[in-house]
Structure 1
Amino acid sequence: MSHTAHIPSHRKPRRSASKMALRAGVAGGVLSTLAVAGASGTASAAEPVAETAALPTLTADLASQSAQAADATQQRAAAYELQATQESAAAKAVKQAKKDKATAERKAAEAKKKAEAEAKRKAAAAARERASRAAERTTLSTRSGASTPAPAPVSAPASGSVASVISFLKAQLGDAYVMGGTGPNSWDCSGLVQAAYRQAGVSLPRTSQAQSTVGTQVSVSSAQVGDILYWGGAGSAYHVGVYIGNGQYLDAANPSKGVVIQNLSGYPASGAVRVL
């Protein structure tokens, strides 16, 4: 045994093969980990390139979706616009219908008012005519209450005297009726008859009452042209005219008609007298 065997050596002890293998494995693991990490880092560094390549596709999808959304918005806007147009047209139609109804009602009211006014006017004219004849009857009655001179004898007319009477009467057509009128442009019934017979040289009394009693009494159905027609009783007549043939007579009718030709069928006479 060496004399130095018991002295500790200052050299490091040799590692065992197992420990060295363990360390080599750990180192290899670490290196592998680093290699994997490096590879992963390299792959991660390469990923942005892949993402950049996919960007156009994503942009195209977004553009397509935006276009579809825009189309849908336009369609909704068009639908709203159509609905608004239809509602506006319906509102205008309702408004026009109300306006037309109001116009029709107004025109109907105006027509009714005019019809009522015309009816009142005709009624007033008829009332005036009745009042005029009543006044004439009153006047005749008043005059008859006094001593009325007997009618002058009627001389035989010359040839053509009837024609002169009728000609004079027709020349006065359209003249006005005025109570007590004796011409030349306004007459009452008896004033016109008196003036007409004066053309034939026949002098007649002034009033209808007196004129209804001169000459010869004849029936209305057998009246001849030139006969005097009267309304009311003989001696109390309130209106006179002259028969002109064909069922017609000429007279100064009333303030609304004036001097006119009328039909006996519309206003039949009470009697007739023949003086020519």
Structure 2
Amino acid sequence: MSHTAHIPSHRKPRRSAPKTALRAGVAGGVLSTIAVAGAAGPAQAEPVTRTIEMPTITDGLSTAVAASAQATQQVAQDLRTQAQQNEAAASAAKAAKKAKAEAVRKAEAKKKAEAAAKAKAEAALRASRTQARTTLSAPTGGSPASTAVASSSSSSSSSSSATGSAASVVSFVKAQVGDAYVSGGTGPNSWDCSGLVQAAFRTVGVDLPRISQAQSTAGTQVSLSNLQPGDILYWGGAGSAYHVAVYVGGGEFVGAQNSSTGVVQRSLSYDPPSGAVRVL
């Protein structure tokens, strides 16, 4: 037995025929494919066109856009409405201011006109009284000297104080000084001239006529130079007097003069009377 019988051989084992044939067939197929491709020659590749579809706006987004546009329009409309309202308010305020100024102007003009008419009426009344006194005094033929004497005599006689019923009449009319003058007024807080005289004499039980014309002839005619407290003074003619008052002594009288002054106490020189009657 050889010494090398058990030493393994280092040769590679031979491949089996079937595996070799398979590999040869694969290689041959690949080479055939390459040969065919080479025979066909180089061919230009056609461009590939791909269509990309863009996403469409969904219904929700469309609704949101529409709502936003509507909201913008509403805001614009609100701004226009507010501007119109502001303009209307400014115009109304301007018109109101102008109307107020016009009303004030008219009121002032009316007030001035009333004051002027009142002054004119008072001036006319004074002129009428002066004319009446001039007419009444003309027949007497008195001179300025005699008039002065009469005035002096009147002043001395006026210093006598009232007594009895005359004192009550004087006290009553003095208590009404400051009351309002109202045509047709008979008290207790507003009077006309004859209403005050009638009420004063009623306190002592004497019932006088209501109007000044009748009161100017209700008693005995007395001279203005011989007056006593409680005598009734009148302006105008006896029986046609347009104003009456009560002589209270001291050269003064109390009477309801007019709406401007009301019931006042005045000196005889303020508005000299035409005559006087004595009832008490």
TM value normalised by structure 2: 0.45
